[in-house]
């Protein structure tokens, strides 16, 4: 037999079990079997068999492990087991260079160079003292972001497998890029933005020669609005709406909706369709969460069942197969092995090999044989499938095959490798074994089988009878330890303790006073039973019997006279252990958390409870600590009931109807989640513990998953009342809702639509961009400057003081810098030359350099392009320069002015095709206004000038590229103004903090970098609505470069700088990339959502497939009036709509029902009624298309009004004088000829200050 070997052994204290599991999972995922990697095998002692010295199993595991990983927590130094494991491994071939420390708590592991040892040896196990000759590096998981364990542990995998760390990280980066879902967090105001767009009624914008384009825009924005609404509850349906919107329109609102939908759930990994004609029944994950299996059933034949296996990260199908009939359960042990049990055919081993799925009978069928296909019900011969028990590296399976007289019961242990062992076989008519107590952490399971109580050691694959006291079949097992021992209640005042020694397992009765109603085992610091118990009696006294230590929690107010538990007025006094020293106690309707071994000083919320001699000195530290949970568990019908709904790890759910909370959602009750740290919160009644002790709170609209260890929460939208939620041990979540797509979420590592390059911990100056204009860029390097020009030429220029650069020319072809001797130099792609004319004057204390436009720049493009380099020199006496020197001629000159006022140059950019100059003219007199100016030019055309005057003293002003918007900042507020109707109109006010820039398509981008935040916001300047709001992370390391925002490959790129945390002032480029192109956004949505509407769209980027339908304007392709005037209308359509209807202003663009139906086949006539607005007219409502819920929204509707001959229209008389509108604009009254019938397309909503009239159309044959 070939002995197993391991890549690494994880040594840890039991309190670090959760972190150890994540380390194991992260390391195992590095191996890529598809590239020929052997699995990375990690020995993690789940059982922690702590009795005496190290067990043979652990010693064997240590001997066969190439590396040792030691988890360092606050309490690790007190664990003798970690000491023993480290010393044993080192003494049996282990080497310090293959010992890796992983810090899981925030403790000081710094190094003392003088002593050549740890600076704080009291925090490190003594086995590690003196082991290393130099400072030992460690993996820091204490400060790593949740979900970032894999990257942090890369050096361990690389060292053990002898792989270059650089290549490993490159592979990881490549894999991350392939699976990255660009998802963002979008502010809730986004939904308001699109609801306003919906309410605006874009039909009011229709002119007859643009009817089709307006129709498509209407439908695009209508779908965009519905996408935003759906995104709050169902991100998959929201993606369908957003993608449909993009088929109609590529406008900014639609693109912004697509971004918003991408951010509706930053934890959505993928969604995918279920097979047509089927519904999703259940989902299962592999233990490492890398594979998800979905089980679907045919809608017409419930016995027709399909299993589909997918990679979680890519959503790629790796295998698919039909399943046997009447499936009881399916479990996956790895990406290649699983187990299923069918009531008809028994238990089968599932094996997956290169996309092919095979089934092998796990148990021999009885002589009667399996059930024939088509058999109904449960005949005499059957297979009974008990719920399996997950154990370390496998599954414990119990099945019965046979009938009432010949039934055979089997107990099998199936390993993830596919190897199965039969532990026991029984002749029994019973249908299942009784798995009364599961101690998977210890690798032991207490089983009640037909022969009595037994203990299964899943690591050794053995089954051992329990000796001693009889174990009753109705025992309530409430606790187990890391040694495989059990504690449970057998009667009102009786408990049973199953202990383990060298000879096996022995059950001992624990009889307490008949006043005791609650009991729990006492454990030592390693989580092992001591043989003592903690008791809670009917007088609310919690005690350690026999020790004299006790504490009264309340008073004896909850019990009637008599001994029966049924006579308790409220809940039965209950005690349950949470961790090594903490217990939760319920007495009456009160809840307490008691710590028998607290650390002082006590944390907030905890109070000292004196025990023993209560008159003793208050400085004693052996008192207990108590938290009185501030919720009363009042509940009708709770008399004598056990309040414990569920426990998992150190958490407990109490079942009651708590009072003291005002939330209406819990008016009819809920559960109380109590944790060992004394914290608690009310949760819905449907809340349960899922795999890995995650807390799953479900409501009809949303589910919340709270994961270990920091109670991080993730919202799971789309979880309706009929949804099924399945959670993996690693925190992946599958949400199933019948025939709708399956959604897979992750409870950590949120992704965003924006991406940013990071260069943390670099030790020298990296190249970073200091100037750009068009295709010209200049980058500062460690040894000088790099020039890249529009003609693709490039040059690297050496310079002795790159940090001395002062200014970049507006066309980004040259710069001025101070050399090592502080002398100004002009640097270009051709080299370096001195600027003697710019040397500082003797009376100057400092100077600054700038390129300013030549005189006459407002009148001539050539002058605007003619940048002049000047030196502004100051004597330190004031803010004004004493001298301005032309650096080329050496002549002194005056500062630039506008209307006699000194100019502050805000922006100066010269491109091959034009340029822009933005200035602020500061007033010379208090009565003068501040004048903000933007001058733009194209080619050699005369520049265009836009100005804004304000009484505010401004710090800065930023213009949009087309001059439509300007943002002024007076130090207190940023004010956005828009040029509309011939004047500047204030639109919105924003906080002054941070930097404002406009994107090429007029989105306002705000960034704010401080020591406490790195914030990004994208705002619609016309409304002030926030389109995107997010935290960029890496606080205090990011800077805004001030360089122009550009668009590249469908992305908006904002050039940021990242400051090194180790290299002083060293900077590097950190470009922030946000997708804005429709194809890019489609690819992003379809990378996450593998659904039918995404067929033909390339995930993650632009598509080579045909673009969505862009049918030509129906008006342009309509038949000629003479040809279609007499065309028959479809049944049910009114005769008034017959023929082609054309506006007088554009007779060539006509409307007809026929052309409408050609373009929109789903068009329906909904209503035809006499108008209540205009006497004698008829109003009609047409639905162009149904939404995903088969209803017709307002913006998908078209409203028509038919004017027969003789009915006049006077907009002013009806809308202004009668209905109170200020004015009619536009007013088409004069376009109405009452001698002819007319048809008018009405606005869905009036959104302007004035009434918006629409032009009448006339039948072409009239």
- Average pLDDT value for residue range 1239-1243: 86
Report the pLDDT value the prediction gives residue 405, as an integer from 0 to 100.
57
d(CA 1255, CA 1233): 12
Give a yes or no: residue 1250 inside a domain: yes
Structural domain includes residue 1187: yes
Tokens of 713: 């929460």
- Decide if 1107 is inside a domain: no
Predicted confidence (pLDDT) at residue 72 exceeds the cutoff of 70: yes
**Structure confidence at residue 756 (pLDDT):** 67
CA–CA distance, 383 with 628 (Å, rounded to integer): 50
Do residue 82 and residue 141 come from a single domain?
A: yes
Q: Are 292 and 309 in contact (CB under 8 A)?
A: yes
Under DSSP, is residue 154 helix (H, G, I), strand (E, B) or coil?
A: helix
Higher local confidence (pLDDT), 206 or 20: 20
pLDDT at position 350: 93
| Tens-digit pLDDT profile for residues 254-264 | 888 888 787 66
**Residue 407's pLDDT band (boundaries 50, 70, 90)?**
low
> 217 and 128, same structural domain?
no
% pLDDT > 70, the chain: 76
Q: pTM for this structure?
A: 0.62
Q: Please identify, among 125, 160, 179, the residue that sits at the C-terminal boundary of a domain.
A: 179
The verdict on 209 and 166 lying in the same domain is no
Q: How far apart are CA 35 and CA 33, in angstroms?
A: 5
Residue 1197, strand partner residues: 1183
Rg, C-alpha atoms of the chain: 38
Window from 21-35, 473-487, 981-995 with minimum mean pLDDT = 21-35
1108 vs 841 pLDDT, higher one: 841
State mean pLDDT over 40-46: 84
Q: Phi-psi region for residue 498, left (φ > 0), alpha (ψ -120 to 50) or beta?
A: beta
Closest CA to 737 of 229, 204, 234, 9: 234
Lowest model confidence (mean pLDDT) among 398-407, 821-830, 1129-1138: 398-407
Name, of 430-439, 554-563, 782-791, the range with top average pLDDT: 782-791
Tell me what the mean pLDDT of segment 397-412 comes to. 72
Mean pLDDT to the nearest integer, 733-760: 72
| 1072 belongs to a structural domain | no
pLDDT of 1218 above 70: yes
Which residues pair with residue 402 across a beta bridge? Answer: 382
Q: Which residues contact 172 (CB under 8 A, 6 or more apart)?
A: 30, 150, 151, 154
pLDDT at 106 over 90: no
Average pLDDT on 1054-1064 reads 68
Backbone dihedral region for residue 118 (phi beyond 0: left; psi -120 to 50: alpha; all else: beta): beta
Same domain, yes or no: 637 and 553: yes
Higher-confidence residue of 554 and 555: namely 554
Task: Write down the pLDDT at residue 370.
Answer: 33
Considering the domain architecture, whether residues 125 and 201 belong to the same structural domain is answered as no
Structure tokens at 952: 């505010």
Higher pLDDT, 607 or 124: 124
What pLDDT, on a 0 to 100 scale, did the predictor assign at position 371? 31
Structure token pair of residue 499: 């202990």
pLDDT tens-digit readout, 441-454? 467 888 877 677 88
Query: Rounded to an integer, what distance in angstroms lies between the CA atom of residue 315 and that of residue 683?
Result: 32
Last residue of a domain, one of 666, 684, 702: 684
Task: Find where tokens 């006492």 sit.
Answer: 522
Is the domain of 49 the same as that of 155? yes
Most confident of 18-22, 64-68, 404-408: 64-68
Residue 1238 lies in a domain: yes
Question: Given this model, what pLDDT does residue 744 score?
Answer: 87
Question: How many distinct structural domains can be found in the chain?
Answer: 4
Do 1128 and 1246 lie in one domain? The reply is yes
Query: Residue 1037: pLDDT above 50?
Result: yes
Residue 317 has pLDDT above 90, yes or no: yes
Query: At 1216, is the pLDDT very low, low, confident or very high (cuts 50, 70, 90)?
Result: confident
Mean pLDDT within 653-657:
77
Q: What is the pLDDT of residue 1187?
A: 60
Say how far apart CA 481 and CA 1261 lie, in whole Å. Answer: 92
CATH number of the domain where residue 44 is located: 3.40.50.10140
Closest to 67 (Cα-Cα) out of 4, 8, 20: 8
Q: Pick from 249, 266, 283: which residue ends a domain? A: 266
Give pLDDT, residue 791: 65
Q: Which two tokens stand for residue 213?
A: 């384009």
Q: Which residues contact 28 (CB under 8 A, 6 or more apart)?
A: 39, 40, 41, 42, 288
- One domain, residues 135 and 232: no
Q: What's the rounded Cα separation, in Å, for the pair 383 and 500?
A: 35
Task: Quote the CA–CA distance of 24 and 860 in Å, as a whole number.
Answer: 69
pLDDT for residue 1199: 86
Per residue in 234-251, pLDDT (tens digit) is 788 888 889 999 988 888
Element at 1221 (helix H, strand E): none
Q: What's the count of helices (H) and strands (E) in the chain, helices before strands? A: 15, 85
Most confidently modeled of 263-267, 364-368, 436-440?
Answer: 263-267
Domain range for 671 is: 512-613+621-684
Cα 1190 from Cα 1205, distance rounded (Å): 37
User: Greater confidence, 486 or 547?
Assistant: 486
- The pLDDT, as a whole number, for residue 1244 is 66
Residues 167-223 have pLDDT tens digits of 555 455 444 433 332 222 232 333 333 333 333 333 333 343 445 666 677 778 778
Helix spans in 832-978 (H): 861-865
pLDDT band at 922 (very low <50, low <70, confident <90, very high): confident
Mean pLDDT of all residues in the chain?
A: 77
Question: Does 26 score more than 90 pLDDT?
Answer: no
Same domain, 127 and 204: no
Determine whether 11 is exposed, middle or buried from the number of CB atoms within 10 Å of its CB (0-12, 13-18, 19+).
buried
- Tell me whether residue 175 is in a domain: yes
In a domain, 803, yes or no: no
Give me the pLDDT at residue 171, please: 56
Q: Are 1198 and 203 in contact (CB under 8 A)?
A: yes
Q: Per-residue confidence at 754, pLDDT binned at 50, 70, 90?
A: low
Q: Is the same domain home to 528 and 567?
A: yes
pLDDT grade, residue 813 (50/70/90)? Answer: very high
Q: Are 65 and 143 found together in one domain?
A: yes
Give the per-residue pLDDT at 567.
Answer: 44
pLDDT at 748: 60
Confidence bin at 757 (pLDDT 50/70/90)? low
Task: State the average pLDDT over residues 485-507.
Answer: 90
In this structure, the answer to whether residues 1173 and 1147 fall within a common structural domain is yes
Q: What would the mean pLDDT of 946-955 be, rounded to a whole number?
A: 89
First-to-final CA distance of the chain: 98
What are residue 519's DSSP bridge partners? 535
Percent of residues, the chain, with pLDDT higher than 90: 20
Q: Is residue 274 part of a domain?
A: no
Amino acid 1104: pLDDT? 37
H or E segment and range at residue 211: helix 211-231
Mean pLDDT of 692-701: 69
């Amino acid at each position: 037999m070939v002995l197993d070997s391991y890549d690494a052994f994880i040594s840890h204290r039991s309190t670090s079990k959760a972190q150890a599991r994540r380390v194991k999972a992260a390391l195992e995922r590095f191996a890529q079997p598809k590239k020929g990697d052997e699995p990375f095998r990690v020995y993690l002692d789940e059982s922690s068999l702590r009795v005496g010295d190290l067990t043979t199993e652990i010693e064997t595991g240590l001997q066969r492990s190439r590396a040792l990983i030691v988890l360092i927590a606050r309490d690790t130094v007190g664990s003798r087991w970690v000491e023993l494991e480290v010393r044993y491994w080192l003494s049996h071939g282990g080497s310090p260079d293959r010992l890796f420390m992983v810090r899981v708590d925030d403790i000081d592991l710094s190094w003392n160079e003088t002593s050549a040892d740890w600076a704080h040896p009291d925090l490190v196990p003594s086995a590690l003292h003196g082991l290393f000759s130099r400072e030992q590096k460690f993996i820091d998981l204490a400060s790593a972001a949740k979900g970032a364990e894999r990257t942090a542990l890369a050096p361990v995998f690389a060292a053990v497998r002898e792989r270059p760390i650089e290549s490993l990280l490159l592979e990881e980066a490549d894999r991350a890029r392939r699976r990255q879902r660009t998802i963002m967090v979008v502010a809730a105001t986004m939904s308001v933005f699109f609801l306003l767009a919906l309410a605006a009624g874009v039909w009011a914008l229709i002119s007859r020669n643009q009817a089709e384009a307006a129709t498509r825009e209407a439908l695009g924005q209508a779908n965009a609005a519905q996408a935003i609404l759906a995104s709050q509850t169902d991100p998959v349906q929201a993606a369908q709406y957003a993608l449909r919107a993009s088929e109609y329109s590529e406008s900014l609102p639609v693109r912004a909706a697509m971004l918003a939908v991408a951010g509706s759930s930053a934890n959505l990994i993928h969604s995918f369709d279920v097979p047509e004609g089927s519904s999703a029944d259940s989902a299962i994950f592999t233990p490492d969460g890398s594979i998800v299996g979905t089980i679907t059933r045919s809608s017409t034949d419930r016995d027709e069942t399909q299993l589909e296996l997918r990679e979680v990260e890519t959503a790629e199908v790796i295998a698919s197969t039909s399943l046997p009939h009447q499936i009881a359960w399916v479990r996956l042990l790895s990406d290649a092995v699983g187990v299923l049990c069918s009531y008809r055919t028994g238990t089968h081993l599932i094996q997956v090999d290169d996309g092919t799925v095979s089934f092998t009978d796990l148990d021999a069928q009885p002589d009667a044989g399996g059930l024939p296909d088509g058999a109904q019900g449960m005949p005499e011969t059957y297979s009974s499938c008990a719920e399996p028990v997950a154990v370390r590296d496998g599954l414990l399976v119990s099945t019965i095959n046979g009938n009432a007289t010949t039934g055979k019961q089997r107990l099998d242990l199936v390993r993830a490798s596919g190897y199965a062992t039969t532990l026991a076989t029984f002749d029994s008519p019973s249908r299942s074994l009784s798995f009364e107590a599961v101690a998977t952490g210890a690798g032991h399971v207490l089983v009640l089988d037909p022969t009595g109580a037994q203990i299964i050691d899943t690591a050794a694959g053995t089954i051992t009878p329990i000796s001693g006291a009889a174990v009753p079949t109705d025992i309530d097992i409430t606790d187990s330890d890391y040694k495989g021992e059990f504690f449970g209640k057998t009667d009102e005042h009786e408990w049973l303790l199953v202990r383990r020694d060298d000879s096996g397992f022995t059950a001992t009765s624990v009889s307490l006073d008949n006043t005791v109603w609650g009991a729990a085992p006492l454990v030592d610091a390693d989580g092992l039973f001591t043989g003592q118990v903690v008791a809670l009696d009917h007088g609310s006294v919690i005690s350690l019997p026999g020790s004299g230590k006790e504490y009264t929690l309340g008073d004896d107010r909850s019990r009637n006279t008599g001994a029966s538990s049924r006579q308790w007025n409220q809940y039965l006094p209950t005690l349950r252990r949470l961790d090594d020293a903490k217990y939760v106690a319920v007495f009456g309707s009160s809840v307490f958390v008691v710590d028998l071994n607290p650390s002082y000083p006590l944390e907030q919320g905890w109070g000292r409870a004196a025990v023993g001699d209560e008159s003793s000195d208050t400085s004693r530290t052996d008192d207990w600590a108590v938290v009185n949970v501030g919720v009363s568990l009042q509940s009708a019908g709770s008399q004598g009931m056990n309040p414990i709904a569920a426990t998992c790890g150190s958490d407990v759910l109490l079942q009651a109807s708590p009072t003291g909370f005002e939330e209406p959602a819990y008016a009819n009750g809920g559960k109380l989640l109590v944790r060992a740290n004394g914290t608690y919160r009310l949760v819905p009644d449907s809340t349960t513990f899922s795999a890995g002790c995650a807390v799953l709170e479900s409501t009809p609209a949303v589910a919340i998953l709270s994961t270990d260890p920091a109670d991080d929460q993730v919202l799971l939208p789309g979880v309706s009342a009929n949804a099924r939620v399945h959670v993996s041990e690693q925190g992946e979540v599958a949400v199933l809702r019948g025939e709708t797509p399956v959604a897979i979420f992750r409870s950590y590592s949120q992704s965003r639509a924006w991406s940013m390059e990071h260069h943390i911990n670099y030790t020298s100056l990296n190249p970073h961009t200091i100037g750009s204009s068009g295709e010209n860029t200049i980058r500062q390097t460690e040894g000088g400057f790099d020039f890249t020009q529009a003609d693709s030429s490039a040059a690297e220029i050496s310079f002795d003081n790159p940090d001395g650069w002062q200014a970049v020319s507006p066309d980004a072809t040259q710069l001025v810098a101070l050399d090592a001797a502080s002398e100004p130099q002009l640097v270009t792609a051709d080299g370096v030359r001195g600027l003697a004319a710019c040397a500082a004057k003797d009376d100057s204390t400092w100077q600054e350099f700038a390129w300013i436009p030549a005189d006459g720049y407002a009148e001539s493009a050539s002058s605007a392009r003619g940048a002049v380099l000047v030196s502004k020199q100051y004597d330190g006496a004031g803010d004004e320069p004493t001298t301005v020197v032309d650096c080329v001629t050496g002549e002194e000159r005056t500062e630039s002015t506008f209307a006699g006022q000194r100019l502050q140059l805000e922006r100066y950019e010269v491109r091959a095709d034009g340029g822009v100059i933005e200035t602020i003219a500061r007033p010379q007199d208090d009565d003068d206004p501040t004048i903000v100016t933007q001058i733009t030019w194209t080619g050699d055309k005369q520049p265009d000038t836009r100005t804004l005057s304000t009484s505010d003293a401004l710090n800065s002003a930023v213009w949009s590229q087309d001059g439509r918007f300007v943002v002024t900042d007076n130090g207190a507020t940023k004010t956005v103004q828009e040029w509309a109707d011939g004047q500047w109109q204030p639109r919105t006010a924003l906080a002054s903090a941070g930097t404002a820039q406009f994107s090429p398509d007029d989105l306002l981008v705000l960034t704010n970098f401080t020591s406490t935040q790195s914030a990004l916001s994208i705002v619609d300047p016309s409304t002030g609505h926030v389109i995107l709001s997010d935290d960029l992370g890496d606080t205090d390391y990011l800077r805004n470069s001030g360089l122009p925002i550009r668009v590249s490959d469908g992305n908006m790129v904002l050039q940021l700088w990242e400051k090194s945390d180790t290299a002083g002032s060293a900077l590097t480029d950190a470009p922030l990339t946000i997708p804005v192109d429709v194809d890019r956004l489609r690819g992003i949505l379809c990378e996450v959502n593998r659904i039918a509407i995404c067929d033909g769209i390339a995930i993650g980027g632009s598509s080579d497939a045909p673009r969505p339908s862009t049918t030509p304007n129906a008006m342009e392709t309509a038949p000629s009036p003479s040809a279609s005037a007499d065309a028959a209308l479809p049944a049910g359509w009114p005769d008034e709509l017959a023929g082609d209807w054309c506006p007088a202003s554009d007779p060539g663009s006509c409307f007809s029902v026929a052309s409408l139906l050609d373009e929109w086949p789903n068009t329906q006539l909904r209503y035809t009624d006499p108008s209540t607005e205009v006497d004698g007219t008829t109003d009609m409502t047409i639905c162009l298309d149904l939404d995903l819920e088969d209803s017709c929204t307002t913006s998908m509707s078209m409203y028509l009004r038919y004017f027969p001959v003789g009915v006049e229209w006077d907009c002013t008389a009806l809308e202004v004088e009668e209905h109170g509108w200020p004015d009619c604009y536009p007013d088409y009254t004069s376009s109405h000829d009452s001698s002819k019938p007319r048809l008018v397309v009405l606005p869905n909503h009036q959104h302007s200050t004035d009434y918006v009239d629409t032009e009448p159309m006339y039948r072409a044959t009239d």
